[in-house]
Copies of this chain bind each other. A is one copy, B any other.
Amino acid sequence: MFVNKDTVMVYDTDYQGVAHYAAYYRFFTDAIENYKKQVLGIDINAVSNELWFVVVESKAQYYKSLHINDVISVELNPVVSDSKKSITFNLKIKIDKTGETATEGYLTMVSINPKVWKSVEMPQNLIEKFKS
């Protein structure tokens, strides 16, 4: 499990005073990007000219609202599909102060060849890294 620390910023909030739907995209993306840099050593979206990842499914349940300046821990667990053509990042957001789970969800990305925009199997060495 990879954990990314983050803070709810002014641009993550709306006039209802809590983090909005799109902010979770930032929280999830930042966790995935930092996992990629610190654990995989690659750019997960555009690994190369022949291997990109694109989001095909996303789901999130919002149990607790997040407020400005909340310090959060975004927990990330990657699961490679049996087809080796997609990866699901399971994500959980916890509020550091209280330990409460604020959000649970996932993003599923498919590996494609951007030249033909078709799904392809991920290279074995990348699969190993996801599983380690």
A→B interface (CB under 8 Å): 9-11, 13-18, 20-22, 25-26, 29-30, 33, 43, 45-46, 52, 54-63, 65, 67-69, 107, 114, 117
Given contacts A10-B29, A58-B59, contact A16 B69 (CB under 8 A): no
Given contacts A10-B29, A25-B25, A29-B10, contact A18 B54 (CB under 8 A): yes
- Inter-subunit contact A14/B13 (CB<8 Å): yes
- By a CB distance below 8 angstroms, the chain B residues around A20 are 10-11, 25
- Inter-subunit contact B15/A25 (CB<8 Å): no
The main secondary structure of chain A at its interface with chain B is mixed
Other 4 A-B pairs with CB < 8 A, given A11-B25, A57-B59, A58-B59: A9-B30, A14-B15, A22-B25, A58-B60
- By a CB distance below 8 angstroms, the chain B residues around A16 are 10, 45-46, 52, 54, 114
- By a CB distance below 8 angstroms, the chain B residues around A33 are 9-10
